[in-house]
Amino acid sequence: MKFYLIIPAFILYLGCTSPPLPVFQTTEGICPKSDLFVLSQPEIDVQTGNDLVGIYCKANITPIGFEWEISLVFRDEIHPSTWKDFFYRIYRRIRYGRTYDIESFLVRLEPDGKTFQLDLKNVYSGEQIFQEDPVTHKDRILSSSLLENRNSLPILYVNTWNHMFGEKDNNPQLSKQEIQISEFRFGSRSQLDGYFGTY
């Protein structure tokens, strides 16, 4: 192979591969199976390769009750602009060691065991739409009572191409795929970051 072909081939490799999803040993903090909420994601996001491939959870006991740290792992985070995406995925592969997109938030269970609060720190969409560029990472704490319901389960909407969440559908013109969030792999965000950072 000629030398001038090695660099583009290496860049393509960096942009297109990810290590397998990890399996962590469970010691404590296992999240029980629970019909928590429904994730509503634009079908166009799924069709372009950004489907949800893993849900990790680590349960913690805090002074005010039970708290679950949930990390949603999407297969990729493909930018709507092809040329921006080319450079963006190279950056992400070098920076994070993966092409997976991992978004994490906290679920604080209320004493009744049926309602909860979502702490969407750095992953709240606000009014932003799917094609938004650039996307601003916002913060918001949402009570489950503020979320729409489908078959008695609250709905959390994926509103942007880089998977920022909200309580309402900012893209009503886009068809959606709905995924019930109920079963989890064990694992914290720090474990996921450590795994991909040292892979």
- 4, part of any domain: no
Per the structure, how many domains does the chain have? 1
- 11, part of any domain: no
For 144-181, the pLDDT digits (tens) are: 999 999 888 999 999 999 999 999 999 999 999 999 98
Closest CA to 41 of 27, 55, 51: 51
The pLDDT-based confidence of 4 (bands split at 50, 70, 90) is low
- 20, part of any domain: no
The range of the structural domain enclosing residue 101 comes to: 27-197
- 66, part of any domain: yes
Flag whether pLDDT at 8 surpasses 70.
no
- 17, part of any domain: no
- 7, part of any domain: no
- 12, part of any domain: no
Please spell the DSSP secondary structure of 34-93, one letter per residue. ---EEEEEEHHHHHTT--EEEEEEEEEEETTEEEEEEEEEES----SSHHHHHHHHHHHH
- 19, part of any domain: no
The pLDDT-based confidence of 70 (bands split at 50, 70, 90) is very high
